[in-house]
Structure 1
Amino acid sequence: MVRHDPTVDAWFERYDNPQRELVMAVRDAVLDADERVTETIKWQAPTFVYRGNIASFYPKAKAHASLMFHRGAELPDPEGLLEGEGDVSRVAKFADAAELGQKRDALQALVRAWIATRDAD
């Protein structure tokens, strides 16, 4: 069951972006990955948390929903969902609801991989 934080709900009420519905659907997919994942507002954007920051939305993206995994380079990504070459972060992009549907399992696997790394520490 997806649990929304009222502070994040309030942020979405003010969020004026053509990808608003898609971003909200990505939000639900992340929160639905594991009941221990919570959300908050950090860096002026919704951020998902479990024993550290998992990922944050890039709210200014207008052509797609963009979710930055703060330490994405450390996560296994067998489906190749994450983009980027940096030493630490990686980005998942979703162009529309159909693409999110296709990539939902891979997205949730990344969230669960984060949780597994945190639980192993």
Structure 2
Amino acid sequence: MSREDVGDWMARYDNPMKPVVAEMRRLILDADNRIEETIKWQAPTFTYKGNMASFFPRAKKHASLMFHKGAVFEGDFPNLEGGGKEARSFKVADLKELKNKAEELQSICIAWCDQQDQ
């Protein structure tokens, strides 16, 4: 799977959150050139030395990105939600909210890559 596969997936993606998902995707890929993307679990998944995060494509009231090991990210990321052992969610209701959360989203992605390089 490649970036072209994700582009094909996005072209077929029929969801009211598509503009938000597309902008989140752009922000993540622009955050750090170490990040790659693929389709896993029938959704865009971002990777760097392991699975970093996957979209939950069925959500219709917000764009939901699951960080597979979000509980172990070093740093203060108040928008990573959840109380499980490993996974955390990052949810965005619209493009305006994403604009306010964009810096944190990109910081989370950079933190993942930096931790993977340690």
Q: Which of the five TM-score ranges fits, normalised by the shorter chain?
A: over 0.9
The yes-or-no answer on 1:63 pairing with 2:69 is no
Code of the aligned partner of 1:17: N
Using the alignment, how far apart are the partners of 1:89 and 1:105 within structure 2?
Answer: 20
Q: Distance in 2 between matches of 1:20 and 1:119?
A: 32
Q: Which residue of 2 aligns with 1:6?
A: 4
Cα separation, 1, equivalents of 2:77 and 2:55 = 20
* Shift of residue 77, structure 1, vs aligned partner: 4.4
Structure 2 residue aligned with 1:32? 30
Whole-Å separation in 1 of the counterparts to 2:34 and 2:77: 23
- Report matched runs for 1:69-80 at 5 Å: 69-80=67-78
Task: Give the aligned residue type for 1:24.
Answer: A
**Runs of 5+ consecutive residues of structure 2 not aligned to the other structure:** none
Structure scoring higher RCO (CA < 8 A, sep ≥ 6) equals 2
1:89 equivalent in structure 2: 87
Provide the residue aligned with 2:49 in structure 1. Answer: 51
Counterpart secondary structure, 1:92: strand
Q: Identify unmatched segments of 5+ residues in structure 1.
A: none
Amino acid at match of 2:43: A
- Structure 1 CA distance, aligned partners of 2:117 and 2:74? 15
TM-score by length of 2: 0.96
Give distance in 1, aligned partners of 2:94 and 2:109: 20
RMSD value over aligned CA atoms? 1.1
What secondary structure, in the 3-state scheme, does the structure 2 residue paired with 1:78 have?
coil
Q: Percent identity?
A: 50
Distance 1:43 1:79 in 2: 25
Aligned length: 117
**Corresponding position of 1:107:** 105
Q: Output the amino acid matched with 1:85.
A: G
**Separation (CA, whole Å) in 2 of partners of 1:78 and 1:52:** 22
Aligned partners of 1:95 and 1:83: how far apart in 2? 14
TM-score normalised by the chain length of structure 1: 0.94
Q: In structure 2, how many angstroms separate the alpha carbons of the residues matched to 1:108 and 1:8?
A: 19
**CA deviation after TM superposition for structure 1 residue 31, in Å:** 0.5
Shift of 1:78: 1.5
